[in-house]
Amino acid sequence: MKIQILDYETNKPAGLVKSFLLRSIVNGLIGQFTCAPLYFIVDSFFVFNDERRCLHDQIAGTYVVDISES
């Protein structure tokens, strides 16, 4: 897919905690304890905000960049 997950504060590649645990595990747990379909729709619609960061990116303090042109 040629994407990279970066730390929002340092602009460096996100580590395991941010890129996996917070983005996947915590996001999945939130989905389990809420109305999951609605949560994942809301999470996806956050990509249309000014920063183009989904809710799981904001929780983890990350953002995704396209590295296919590098």
Grouping H, G, I as helix, E, B as strand and the rest as coil, residue 63 is strand
Mean pLDDT over 27-49 rounds to 88
Interior angle at CA 9, CA 39 and CA 43, nearest 5: 10
Is the CB of residue 65 less than 8 Å from the CB of residue 4? yes
Q: Quote the number of domains for the chain.
A: 1
* Position 57 confidence tier, pLDDT thresholds 50, 70, 90: very high
Entry pTM: 0.78
Indicate the pLDDT class of residue 23, thresholds 50, 70 and 90.
confident
SS3 67: coil
The rounded distance, in Å, linking the Cα atoms of 11 and 68 is 17
pLDDT reported for residue 70:
59
pLDDT at 1 over 80: no
Q: Which domain holds residue 25?
A: 3-66
Q: Measured in whole angstroms, how far is the alpha carbon of residue 35 from the centre of its chain?
A: 19
